[in-house]
Amino acid sequence: MRKKVITGNWKMNNDLGETQNLISKLINGLSNETLSCDVIICPPFTSLQEAGLLIKNTPIKLGAQNMHQEGNGAYTGEISAGMLKNVGCEYVILGHSERRTIFGEKDELINLKIKKALESELKPIFCVGETLEEREKDATTKVVERQITVGLKNISSDEIKNLIIAYEPVWAIGTGRTATPEQAQEVHAYIRLLINRLFDVQTAENLVIQYGGSVKPDNAGELLSQKDIDGALVGGACLKADSFIGIIRSA
Ligand code: PGA
């Protein structure tokens, strides 16, 4: 049985004060729950250290939203895997569609970042997903196959144990338009099949595949009950403690 994983991607939201406020509400709200899923929050870089201190001794885990593919050096404005580890990160989101579309990140670059993260003992949350145009052209599986095949090039099945894949159809992100549970399940099953083909059956069976794209407390239950949906990557709804806790409860 795969344990469900709920990740909150804060994106470019919350300064230090707002970080303290949201985390204290989360900790309070979850204090009487026995969590049967893993919970990860991914604040912006400037809040990571504070968030790491606040969630110490709680079940909440820390992740970052991006990192550079090199260990250190003259890369103005960038953040390394080692720096993220140093402030308590265990996870890092890589290949998010906003990084791909707004910042021009390509599959090959994402592959380098995934390799660096794994080498640095950070667990990648590797995002894939098609645009509306690609879905309408019936290219969903082709696109996801390319993103995964290139993104996971030269990575061993042993390393995949420390990686999560998040399927996020681009047309569902921040739009309020969620994939139906059937649409999502279909792609998740395909991803598991692909991992079986690229690696082996055990690696595919153990892989956590999150769904992302307008996940809310009222649609999370049905999505998470699908056979191959092992969690959620939540954007908008993770910025309010109540709605994020609602999603955690559905898991
Ligand atoms: P959303 O974002 O929940 O606001 O659609 C999801 C994501 O981008 O990870």
Segments making up each domain of the chain, as ranges: 5-26+37-250
d(CA 237, CA 178): 13
The residues assigned a catalytic role are: 96, 168
CA of 73 to the centre of ligand 1 (A): 32
Site to substitute for ligand 1 among 5, 6, 9, most atoms within 8 A of C-beta: 9
Residue showing tokens 């990571």: 48
Nearest CA to ligand 1 atom 7: 235
Ligand 1 atom index nearest CA of 212:
6
Where does residue 74 rank: exposed (0-12), middle (13-18), buried (19+ CB within 10 A)?
A: exposed
pLDDT of residue 32: 87
Please, what is the average pLDDT of the chain? 97
Nearest CA to ligand 1 atom 1: 235
Q: Look at the pTM and tell me if it is higher than 0.85.
A: yes
Model pLDDT for residues 54-109, shown as the tens digit of each residue: 999 999 999 999 999 999 999 999 999 999 999 999 999 999 999 999 999 999 99
| Strand spans (E) along 47-205 | 60-64, 91-94, 123-128, 164-167
Ligand 1 binding residues, C-beta < 6 A: 9, 168, 173-174, 212-215, 233-237
Tokens describing residue 94 = 């890589």
Site to substitute for ligand 1 among 168, 211, 239, most atoms within 8 A of C-beta: 168
Q: Is the pLDDT of residue 33 over 90?
A: no
Where does residue 84 rank: exposed (0-12), middle (13-18), buried (19+ CB within 10 A)?
A: buried
DSSP 27: H
DSSP per-residue codes, 179-209: PPHHHHHHHHHHHHHHHHHHS-HHHHHH-EE
Q: Which of 3.40.1390.10, 3.20.20.70, 3.30.230.10, 3.30.200.20 is the CATH number of 5-26+37-250?
A: 3.20.20.70
pLDDT of residue 201: 97
